[in-house]
Amino acid sequence: MAKYVYDFTEGNKDLKDLLGGKGANLAEMTNLGLPVPPGFTITSEACRHYLAEGAVPDGLEREVAEHLTAMEKRMGKTLGQADDPLLVSVRSGAKFSMPGMMETVLNIGLNDESVHGLAKQAGGNDRFAWDSYRRLIQMFGKTVLDIDGELFEQALESLKGDRQDTDLGAAELQGLVETFKGIVRDQTGKDFPADPREQMRLAVMAVFDSWNAPRAILYRRQERIPADLGTAVNIVAMVFGNVGNDSGTGVAFTRDPGSGQQGIYGDYLQNAQGEDVVAGIRNTIPLQELERLDKSSYDELLRIMETLENHYRDLCDIEFTIERGKLWMLQTRVGKRTAAAAFCIATQLVDQGLITLDEAVTRVTGDQLAQLMFPRFDSGTEKKKIAKGMNASPGAAVGKVVFSSERAVELAGQGEDVILVRRETNPDDLSGMIAARGILTSRGGKTSHAAVVARGMGKTCVCGAEELEVSIGERRFTAPGDIVVNEGDLISIDGTTGEVFLGEVPVVDSAVVEYFEGREPDDDLVRAVDRIMRRADEVRRLGVRANADTPDDAARARRFGGEGIGLCRTEHMFLGERRQLVEDLVLASGDEERQAALDALEPLQKADFVGIFQAMEGQPVTVRLIDPPLHEFLPDLTDLSVKVATGDASDKDRKLLVAVKRLHEQNPMLGLRGVRLGLVIPGLFAMQVRAIAQAAKEVPGAKPEIMIPLVAAVQELEAVREEAAGILADLGVEALIGTMIETPRAALTAGQVAEAAQFFSFGTNDLTQMTWGFSRDDVEAAFFSRYLELGMFGVSPFETLDRDGVGRLVTIAVEEGRAARPDLKLGICGEHGGDPDSVHFCHQAGLDYVSCSPFRIPVARLEAGRAAFAECDSDTR
């Protein structure tokens, strides 16, 4: 027989799945001997049954009745008994805290008779009794009967006038009860239910239903809380903070949730009930002042707070009520905190001997660390928001608006801060993006060019702000409300929220980034980060490398703790002035011309590698041979056509137009790229391998690894590997030769591929794209938000590695690759390498390292450390 109801004496804090956070912790406090009113919890399992079947499970009503009877016996009074009533609250409480999202009803059990009994209990305090009764009808009406809460509020307001609620007398409150009952009758066509047990039964179902209230659904989506957990319901004997001035209600934290400082943080409100303290109906007083009002309750509260901190070994938040000088605990939980407080509290608890440093590592998250690494807008200032796009790359950036890469470079060269605004960016905007403080686009999703590049650079970016009309030609954009922003105007963009503001919003710097850049720890937060990072580095098994293709990025990667480069892309080495040479390569009419173009590229490539090898000082550098289709380096088809049509074209332009048309592809991502280029264009890969080898010879200790992209079959790899190995041997350079695993076929035939590869690096961007059949450049803007809404996935598979599908391919490739070649080195170099959950997956899958953009390295280091503790997952909600 299923058990659906647990007395507070039967539960404990580890039963959150079943009893919800509130119920589990009320039970825990009960068992600690703290003053908790008697009560019991209906499980979330009962709720799930109710939501699925539309009716409560068999036996639930009987179990509830039994527990209620036991409670009545203990209290010596029965629910709603006319002369001496027991009253209860019916409170929601799910596994994850969803503050204020679901419902609670207080004072269940009051009706026209028991209201007099309640007054008698309080020594003839009629005012208190009628106040409690009007609260019940108000809460019950709104929550259970679905009546617009405003109707009750307005009636209360018009009665109060300029007075406070505590100024209302018994007779007035009695009148208000009549008014409220009238509202119930008008709105529902029925009387307010007087039967206490019926009140309770209806309230329980209303709490179940509140799991699916629109705001609860929205909150869950935002916080990625699963939609099928359901909520538990707690039935708690009422205690009263509204009996008079010797009573009251309050909330407290065992330490400051903003900074982690120890001390007394909380608010108290005299002669009040429940929500009053947070609802702002009257001004609360700081908790410290309770000492003056009621010293013995205050002292007891401080003792309890200490007990709770020592017991939970963490910051707790608390709800309490004082009824005529007697303290009651109504809720506690491990409290939410800011990212900075999370780090400080974790190390403080270590110093207090409450937790070990290892536990401290599990108590903070990579997401929290990432938050600490971005400059932020000062929250205290007023802002004028003009649009909201996607929060593509966090941070806060302020600058003058520019609409072209050239202008960005020009103004930045004069020492101006600029924000590059484009409809969308392309590889030619790179210099402008580097020069800008931030990037704003009106099109494209979180993996659009702008977003990916900005994240890689650690640069603030808001993308897909669709409300903005960007006119590059007129050098201005417009926002809703006839706002026109011209080139040179100041704007501020928040990449953490996606918001765009007019004018300059002040920013504050991140001390944590300065620390990673090499500054000695000199405040509590940075010292805390330092201690936790050191420990994470000691315990992690995963290596952490960087995706970096310039000496600057490489150097930053090392400062941030990278242990090599896992992905050095070579395509940027074909951009800018070197496009000319790519054009020559494409237009070459014979072996000789082609070789001449390659010969011209080789020394340039070599110089690039020398810089990177030097910056890495003997750490391994995985160089990926050229990957994108060559037409990406050629002029735009339309531009060329126009030039030719208007007679502005040179001879070369005309030839280029022919070549561009010839190379045009319907699906470039699935076209002539990666290893296919190496096989189709003789000498291209050989040139790159020679450049790598020559550079390695020049830099003592250089450790190159040569990586072939987009391999699907071992035959492809075999062909280019042989040529590369020959070149290395001729030049007397040692380098590993390996492949990316980024096509499903390569993963599925990993045993064969490993015969020809000394290492695998999972290119999970392409692998995700090809496994799902999602064109990355199209799907996000087109339908991902709808997919998220429909729950097709909880998070984009381009953000967090899809364990079931893509992850399975990775696992297969790891197993079969290692079986074929036991010393096969394994890494990952997609965007996922810096994503917390994906890092945990990589640890579990047995990879040797993850590689991510330099700014994500600390996050990856921390999460790799946390992953080493088996029971720790990537979030700590």
Minimum distance, C-beta of residue 99 to Mg ion, in the bound complex (Å): 8
Residue 867 touches which member of ligand ADP, Mg ion, none, C-beta under 5-8 Å by kind:
none
Rg (CA), the chain: 33
Cα separation, 76 vs 758, whole angstroms: 77
Residue 147 touches which member of ligand ADP, Mg ion, none, C-beta under 5-8 Å by kind:
none
CB 213 within 8 A of CB 81: no
309 binds Mg ion, rule: CB under 5 A: no
274 binds Mg ion, rule: CB under 5 A: no
Cα separation, 52 vs 509, whole angstroms: 50
Minimum distance, C-beta of residue 92 to ligand ADP, in the bound complex (Å): 6
Minimum distance, C-beta of residue 867 to Mg ion, in the bound complex (Å): 25
Q: Which of 177, 233, 239, 529 binds ligand ADP (CB under 6 A)?
A: 239
106 binds ligand ADP, rule: CB under 6 A: yes
Q: Which of 19, 168, 229, 236 binds ligand ADP (CB under 6 A)?
A: 236
Cα separation, 375 vs 394, whole angstroms: 9
Minimum distance, C-beta of residue 677 to Mg ion, in the bound complex (Å): 13
766 binds Mg ion, rule: CB under 5 A: yes
CA dihedral 95→100→106→112, nearest 10 degrees, is -140
Minimum distance, C-beta of residue 219 to Mg ion, in the bound complex (Å): 15
Minimum distance, C-beta of residue 101 to Mg ion, in the bound complex (Å): 11
Residues binding ligand ADP: number (CB under 6 A): 16
Cα separation, 717 vs 339, whole angstroms: 46
The residue whose Cβ lies closest to Mg ion is: 766
Residue nearer to Mg ion on the CB measure, 496 or 768: 768
Residue nearer to ligand ADP on the CB measure, 106 or 829: 106
Minimum distance, C-beta of residue 236 to ligand ADP, in the bound complex (Å): 4
Q: Identify which range of 65-73, 231-239, 337-345, 508-516 contacts ligand ADP by CB under 6 A.
A: 231-239
Cα separation, 494 vs 505, whole angstroms: 10
Cα separation, 10 vs 796, whole angstroms: 41
Q: Which of 84, 275, 632, 848 binds ligand ADP (CB under 6 A)?
A: 275
Instruction: Count other C-beta atoms under 10 Å from residue 283's C-beta.
Output: 8
Residue nearer to ligand ADP on the CB measure, 91 or 535: 91
> Which residue, among 780, 784, 773, has the nearest Cα to 444 in the 3D structure?
780
> Which residue, among 476, 458, 370, has the nearest Cα to 422 in the 3D structure?
476
3-state secondary structure of 822: coil
Cα separation, 458 vs 435, whole angstroms: 13
Residue nearer to Mg ion on the CB measure, 216 or 396: 216
Residue 243 touches which member of ligand ADP, Mg ion, none, C-beta under 5-8 Å by kind:
none
284 binds ligand ADP, rule: CB under 6 A: no
37 binds ligand ADP, rule: CB under 6 A: yes
Q: Identify which range of 99-107, 118-126, 379-387, 532-540 contacts ligand ADP by CB under 6 A.
A: 99-107
DSSP 204-218: HHHHHHHTT-HHHHH
Phi-psi sector, 809: left (phi>0), alpha (psi -120 to 50), beta = alpha
Residue nearer to Mg ion on the CB measure, 533 or 675: 675
Active site residue 449: yes
Residue 339 touches which member of Mg ion, ligand ADP, none, C-beta under 5-8 Å by kind:
none
> Which residue, among 16, 69, 17, 57, has the nearest Cα to 205 in the 3D structure?
57
**Which residues have a Cβ under 8 Å from the Cβ of 389 and sit 6 or more positions away?**
440, 441, 442, 462, 463, 464, 465, 466, 468, 498, 500
Distances (CA, A) of 552 to 460, 576, 643, 701: 18, 18, 38, 19
Q: Identify which range of 197-205, 237-245, 361-369, 810-818 contacts ligand ADP by CB under 6 A.
A: 237-245
Q: Identify which range of 98-106, 165-173, 192-200, 566-574 contacts ligand ADP by CB under 6 A.
A: 98-106
Alpha helices, H only, 104-164? 114-121, 126-143, 149-160
Cα separation, 480 vs 465, whole angstroms: 11
Residue identified by tokens 């930053």 is 556
Kindly state the tokens that stand for 874.
């990537």
Kindly state the tokens that stand for 351.
């110093």
Q: Which of 331, 694, 796, 853 binds Mg ion (CB under 5 A)?
A: 331
Active site residue 311: no
Q: Report the site for Mg ion in 496-535 (rule: CB under 5 A).
A: none
Residue nearer to ligand ADP on the CB measure, 222 or 589: 222
Q: Which one of 67, 449, 832, 843 is the catalytic residue? A: 449
Residue nearer to Mg ion on the CB measure, 377 or 762: 762
> Which residue, among 102, 97, 43, 12, has the nearest Cα to 333 in the 3D structure?
97
Phi-psi sector, 659: left (phi>0), alpha (psi -120 to 50), beta = alpha
Minimum distance, C-beta of residue 254 to Mg ion, in the bound complex (Å): 16
Minimum distance, C-beta of residue 109 to ligand ADP, in the bound complex (Å): 11
* 366-373 helix and 339-351 helix, angle to the nearest 10 degrees: 120
Distances (CA, A) of 838 to 366, 380, 769, 829: 11, 35, 16, 11
317 binds Mg ion, rule: CB under 5 A: no
104 binds ligand ADP, rule: CB under 6 A: yes
Kindly state the tokens that stand for 717.
């790899």
Q: Identify which range of 230-238, 332-340, 527-535, 681-689 contacts ligand ADP by CB under 6 A.
A: 230-238
Residue 393 touches which member of Mg ion, ligand ADP, none, C-beta under 5-8 Å by kind:
none
Q: Report the site for Mg ion in 735-764 (rule: CB under 5 A).
A: 742, 763
Minimum distance, C-beta of residue 103 to ligand ADP, in the bound complex (Å): 8
100 binds ligand ADP, rule: CB under 6 A: yes
> Which residue, among 304, 235, 179, 296, has the nearest Cα to 63 in the 3D structure?
235
Q: Identify which range of 142-150, 171-179, 235-243, 670-678 contacts ligand ADP by CB under 6 A.
A: 235-243
What is the contact mask toward ligand ADP in residues 310 to 339, using x (rule: CB under 6 A)? ---------x-x--------xx--------
Residue nearer to ligand ADP on the CB measure, 229 or 468: 229
Residue 763 touches which member of ligand ADP, Mg ion, none, C-beta under 5-8 Å by kind:
Mg ion
Q: Which one of 47, 829, 852, 872 is the catalytic residue? A: 829
Which residues is 269 bridged to in the sheet? 249
Residue nearer to ligand ADP on the CB measure, 208 or 574: 208
Cα separation, 239 vs 77, whole angstroms: 14
Q: Which of 238, 370, 435, 824 binds ligand ADP (CB under 6 A)?
A: 238
Which residues is 249 bridged to in the sheet? 269, 321
Cα separation, 805 vs 815, whole angstroms: 16
User: Quick one: CA dihedral 482, 486, 491, 493, positive or negative?
Assistant: positive
Q: Which of 274, 498, 561, 566 binds ligand ADP (CB under 6 A)?
A: 274
Residue 238 touches which member of ligand ADP, Mg ion, none, C-beta under 5-8 Å by kind:
ligand ADP
Q: Which of 25, 30, 78, 89 binds ligand ADP (CB under 6 A)?
A: 89
What is the contact mask toward ligand ADP in residues 380 to 399, using x (rule: CB under 6 A)? --------------------
- What are the DSSP E strand ranges found in 507-592? 507-508, 543-547, 565-569
Residue nearer to Mg ion on the CB measure, 465 or 546: 546
Distances (CA, A) of 204 to 93, 105, 443, 715: 12, 9, 47, 66
Positions that interact with Mg ion (CB under 5 A): 319, 331, 742, 763, 766
Positions that interact with ligand ADP (CB under 6 A): 37, 89, 91, 100, 104, 106, 236-239, 274-275, 319, 321, 330-331
Catalogue the active-site residues. Answer: 449, 829
